[in-house]
Amino acid sequence: MADVNRGNRPLSPHLQVYRLPMAAVTSIMTRITGHALVAGILLLVWWLVAAVSGPRAFAAADWVVRSWIGFIVLTGSAWALWFHTLAGIRHLFYDSGQLLRIEEAERASWAIIIGSVVLTLLSLILFFFA
């Protein structure tokens, strides 16, 4: 143990220097979006309960829903919902033994990311202009 080489050893791959494959990134995002959706659900259920609780309760909840806070939470939730939905559809493909090759999984990952953004923008356009 006297002459241990402490400075010149190869480094093992570590999370901080390891570039995650896109399939891993989107898999982690699926879990995060699924759990984060609780924020949007809570806001909407509070809004529904307030609507049957009385005019003052509804005024408060409706103000939050229509404020910039509500806009951020609901737009974020819409994106999380679309992302989680598309990733869930990919899981149905995975379960049937498809999209499991590395290139396919990589392409499906980008499809989920781009698709979720496009569908969220479409949802916003539909909400504001239709």
Partner 1 sequence: MRYITPRKAAQGLGSAHSGTADHWFLTVSSCALVLLVPAFLLVVGNAIGLSHPELVAYFGRPYPALITALFIVVGMVHFIKGTRIMIDDYFQHTARKVAIIVSVVFSWAVIAAAVFALAKMTLVTVAI
The residues, ordered by sequence, that sit 6+ positions from 108 with a Cβ below 8 Å of its Cβ are: 23, 90, 93, 99
C-alpha–C-alpha distance, residues 5 and 115, integer Å: 51
Quote the least distance from Cβ 114 to partner 1, whole Å: 18
Q: Is 81 in the site for partner 1 (CB under 8 A)?
A: yes
Tell me whether residue 25 or residue 102 sits nearer to partner 1 (CB atom). 25
C-alpha–C-alpha distance, residues 84 and 55, integer Å: 35
Tell me whether residue 91 or residue 104 sits nearer to partner 1 (CB atom). 91
C-alpha–C-alpha distance, residues 112 and 23, integer Å: 10
Residues from 30 through 69 that contact partner 1 (CB under 8 A) = 31, 34-35, 37-38, 41-42, 44-45, 48-49, 51-52, 55, 58-59, 62, 65-66
Tell me whether residue 21 or residue 88 sits nearer to partner 1 (CB atom). 88
